[in-house]
Amino acid sequence: MSDDKPSLEVRNLVKHFPIHGGLLQRQTGTVRAVDGVTFSIRRGETLGVVGESGCGKSTVGKTVLKLLEPTAGEILLDGVDVTDFSPGQMWSHRRQIQTVFQDPYSSMNPRMRAGDIVGEPLENFGLARGKAKDEQVASLFQRVGLRPENMRKFTHEFSGGQRQRLGIAKALAVNPEVIVADEPVSALDVSVQAQVLNLLIDLQEEYKLAYLFISHDLGVMRHISHRIAVMYLGRVVELTDKRTLFTRPLHPYTEALLSAAPVPDPARKRARRIILPGDVPSPAKPPSGCHFHTRCPYAIAECKTVDPKLLEVAPGHQVACIRRPVGTDFAPLTPTQ
Amino acid sequence: MSILQVRDLHTQFFTQDGVVRAVDGVSFDLDQGETLAIVGESGCGKSVTAMSILRLIQAETGRIVSGSIKFEGRELTTLTEEQMRGIRGHDISMIFQEPMTSLNPVLTIGTQIAENVVRHLGVSWQEGLNRAQEMLELVKISDAKRRLDEYPHQLSGGMRQRVMIAMALACRPKLLIADEPTTALDVTIQAQILDLMLELKEKIDAAIVMITHDLGVVAETAQRVVVMYAGRKVEEATVGELFAHPMHPYTRGLMRAIPRLDIDAEAEGRRARLQEIPGMVPVLTQPIPGCAFAPRCPFATEKCTAERPPLVENRPGHIAACWHTDRVLEQAA
Ligand SMILES: Nc1ncnc2c1ncn2[C@@H]1O[C@H](COP(=O)(O)OP(=O)(O)OP(=O)(O)O)[C@@H](O)[C@H]1O
Ligand SMILES: Nc1ncnc2c1ncn2[C@@H]1O[C@H](COP(=O)(O)OP(=O)(O)O)[C@@H](O)[C@H]1O
Ligand code: SF4
Ligand code: SF4
Ligand SMILES: [Mg+2]
Ligand SMILES: [Mg+2]
């Protein structure tokens, strides 16, 4: 493991789902859930993926984990191209990349004891068994803030926050490099959410973990991420460090998204709330050209035909918008509608 | 003028695990045309409060055991179901988090809105349909006339929530209870709906009870806030006052636990930790003699676990239920 190679790298990742319909269940269309996504994550770094429901966040996560076969593109784990690995080949690399879900309950066997759930991967990967395993599980429990006595309990006896801690302990058990966390705190109340976010941050610093952190919550994003990728209809429209993203967003969608989120401060006068018209179009029928042109306040005629590429328009700042070309200044755009 | 008065409301459910004290002595007033937010974490009794006002608690599982709910001076807790039906959807309407639970999947949008209008206002079917179309236009559903003939499943989540609002407002209610109306929606759609609600409020002049777990939504929509914890009101103030001078340790904890999108928490480069509230919310099947927040509260003393703190007005118009507000306020300075 070296520091120059990214822990996880994804190039032009595409995942399409066929839509079947009619009597014969013939393929009648394609959901372009992920439509050419590129990013990389270094050790100890969190890349946040944010966007509205259906924009493809979870599909990116599942494809990177190879729970879904990519339609095209490349996935590199610690420099090794695992895109075409068979499940058998993937097995040895599986340890390196683990996952934490939104609802750990649904992914845990209700008839297994908590200690066995966390210890299972240790056994599966032949890392520890018997007493050694129990000791390791106990220390994992402690590390995530659960009392080792709780190892004998069943998952339904835990609260939402505790179950999420269990999920984190299970992911940590095999000492991974990368953790894909898909909305890991979305089901939790604010007071418990803070506990879990702090735990994730501590663990990252301790083990130099790389996080692919998926969330629709912009507050959580700003807190946990180092860099953030904003997705819209299967594509990354902007990717940069979080401070730049929150203070000087360049993509019109990012700008609207940030302005739309309610802020818990009645004294703060918002500069200008951008209310986007209409709904997010279906990824089965994305608009031509720039996917955002049907809702974009700054759209010009070319936006309907030109497919904007994600370009590094300023150092470390990638944007996919024809009105934000390379070398753009950060001046506001003039609305066209 | 006060339009709704809730006094010492207790609503309980009778379950295998025991009596759930879902609402445990809650009081508040709502003025005409005012928006009051009820905020708190899941399970603190927000929805049960709303359901109690509308008398929608299922008799097989639970009931209002004591307290009073007066709407325009009229006691609701003793009305018959028949009388309540004349009020629901007419003088008082409700918007739910999940519109599909209250829209009928087999009836067209137009039929559903018109039916309610005809029932309550006694107008003709055609007039009911006309009103339905007017309402859809009011909530900015494009092509309203065509939409009248569509079914709920043909609409997006945001559109369904608009239909719910259209339906709730069709009979010009005096009170609108919105239970997490935007929680299930995406941020940009949430912005559309909140914007719409604020705009319509001006037009219709209804009082609103806005139930939410999101302090951002509170800050942007309400004039006054009630903070609930474990079935009880722990703090109440105007929105400006509450955010500027939160007084109850729970409210303060909540405010500090939120990761903020408008604040750069780590000007020094290192990632800042969020302030945690240790532990978790109590189970409501055990009677809590003292302050329900005591097991998680950094200010707690023996008195807190023994005696329930009364609601005290510590600043003008700002009440909190805490024995130690002096110490709490000192710490902030
Ligand atoms: N197995 C599947 N078969 C067909 N379509 C799918 C499948 N999984 C996802 N999709 C579609 O792909 C698109 C992206 O879905 P995805 O779950 O990645 O969204 P998301 O960004 O995670 O949304 P959310 O915020 O709601 O979790 C959606 O239109 C979804 O309906
Ligand atoms: N039908 C029911 N039977 C038993 N308990 C219930 C029922 N409905 C609500 N409760 C309980 O009442 C409490 C308050 O619930 P609710 O008002 O729905 O909370 P919220 O503040 O999230 O809206 C919770 O503990 C909940 O589990
Ligand atoms: S390319 Fe055009 S439509 Fe797309 S974001 Fe830029 S201005 Fe808007
Ligand atoms: S009464 Fe005591 S336990 Fe309750 S909030 Fe105040 S200080 Fe904390
Ligand atoms: Mg998802
Ligand atoms: Mg509720």
Ligand closest to Cα of B306 equals 4
Give the separation between CA A61 and CA A66, rounded to whole angstroms: 9
pLDDT tens sequence across A140-151: 999 898 989 899
Q: Which two tokens stand for residue B161?
A: 């929530």
| Lowest-confidence region among A76-90, A153-167, A254-268, B262-276 | B262-276
- Cβ–Cβ contact A327 with B under 8 A: no
B interface test, pick of A190, A222, A233 with most B CB neighbours within 10 Å: A190
Q: How many angstroms away from the CA of B279 is the closest CA of chain A? A: 8
**Residue A18 scores a pLDDT above 80:** yes
What is the structure's pLDDT at B270?
57
Domain-by-domain residue ranges, chain A? 1-96+215-262+272-337
**Residue B96 scores a pLDDT above 90:** no
- Cβ–Cβ contact A329 with B under 8 A: no
pLDDT tens sequence across A176-231: 999 999 999 988 888 889 999 999 999 999 999 999 999 999 999 999 999 999 99
- Cβ–Cβ contact B210 with A under 8 A: no
Nearest-CB residue to B192 (from A217, A221, A275)? A275
Mean per-residue pLDDT, A49-65: 94
Closest C-alpha to ligand 2, atom 12: B22
Mean per-residue pLDDT, A86-112: 83
Ligand closest to Cα of B288 equals 4
What is the structure's pLDDT at A272?
66
Nearest-CB residue to B259 (from A195, A197, A265)? A197
What are the pocket residues of ligand 3 if the criterion is a CB atom closer than 6 Å to any ligand atom? A 252, 290, 292-293, 296, 298-299, 303, 308, 321-323
| Lowest-confidence region among A83-97, B4-18, B211-225, B279-293 | A83-97
Residue in B260, B99, B86, B216 with CA at minimum distance from that of residue B166: B99
- Cβ–Cβ contact A248 with B under 8 A: no
Q: Which residue has the higher pLDDT, A25 or A250?
A: A250
- Average pLDDT for chain B: 92
What is the structure's pLDDT at B313?
96
The pLDDT > 70 percentage for chain B reads: 97
Contact A216 B190 (CB under 8 A): no
Contact (Cβ atoms closer than 8 angstroms) between residue A252 and residue A332:
no
Contact (Cβ atoms closer than 8 angstroms) between residue B165 and residue B200:
yes
Contact B187 A195 (CB under 8 A): no
| Sheet strand arrangement including B74-75 | B18-31, B2-15, B62-71, B74-75
What is the structure's pLDDT at A1?
44
Contact (Cβ atoms closer than 8 angstroms) between residue A332 and residue A323:
no
Q: Which CATH code fits A1-96+215-262+272-337?
A: 3.40.50.300
Domains of chain B, earliest start first: 2-222 (3.40.50.300), 245-332 (no CATH)
Task: Report the residue of chain A nearest B267, measured CA to CA.
Answer: A243
Q: Count of CB contacts below 8 A, A vs B?
A: 137
Nearest-CB residue to B243 (from A197, A267, A273)? A267
Q: Which two tokens stand for residue B144?
A: 């309203």
**Residue B331 scores a pLDDT above 90:** no
pLDDT tens sequence across B188-241: 989 989 988 888 888 888 999 999 999 999 999 999 999 999 999 999 999 999
CA distances from A34 to A9, A61, A73, A320, B135 (A): 15, 10, 11, 15, 38
Report residue B318 CA to chain centroid gap: 19
What is the structure's pLDDT at A183?
93
Residues within 8 A of A (CB atoms), B 274-293 only:
274-278, 280-281
Give the separation between CA A210 and CA A200, rounded to whole angstroms: 11
Give the separation between CA A26 and CA A24, rounded to whole angstroms: 5
A125: three-class secondary structure by DSSP:
coil
**Residue B269 scores a pLDDT above 70:** no
CA angle A219-A225-A229, nearest 5°?
90
Contact B280 A276 (CB under 8 A): no
Contact B271 A267 (CB under 8 A): no
Give the separation between CA A215 and CA B260, rounded to whole angstroms: 14
CA distances from A167 to A67, B295, B326 (A): 17, 26, 41
pLDDT tens sequence across B103-162: 999 999 999 999 999 999 999 999 999 999 999 998 988 889 999 999 998 888 888 989
From the CA atom positions of chain B, what is the Rg in Å?
A: 21
- Ligand 1 pocket check: which of A25, A57, A106 to mutate, most ligand atoms within 8 Å of Cβ? A57
What are the pocket residues of ligand 2 if the criterion is a CB atom closer than 6 Å to any ligand atom? B 13, 15, 20, 22, 40, 42-48, 61-62, 284
Contact (Cβ atoms closer than 8 angstroms) between residue A48 and residue A229:
yes
Contact B219 A198 (CB under 8 A): no
Give the separation between CA A310 and CA A300, rounded to whole angstroms: 18
Calculate how far, in angstroms, residue A185's C-alpha sits from the geometric centre of ligand 5. Answer: 13
Calculate how far, in angstroms, residue A12's C-alpha sits from the geometric centre of ligand 5. Answer: 20
Give the separation between CA B63 and CA A155, rounded to whole angstroms: 31
- Cβ–Cβ contact B56 with A under 8 A: no
ipTM of this predicted complex? Answer: 0.87
Which residues on B lie below 8 Å from A261 (Cβ)? 187, 191, 216, 261
What is the structure's pLDDT at A2?
46
Residue in B251, B256, B254 with CA at minimum distance from that of residue B322: B251
pLDDT band at A243 (very low <50, low <70, confident <90, very high): very high
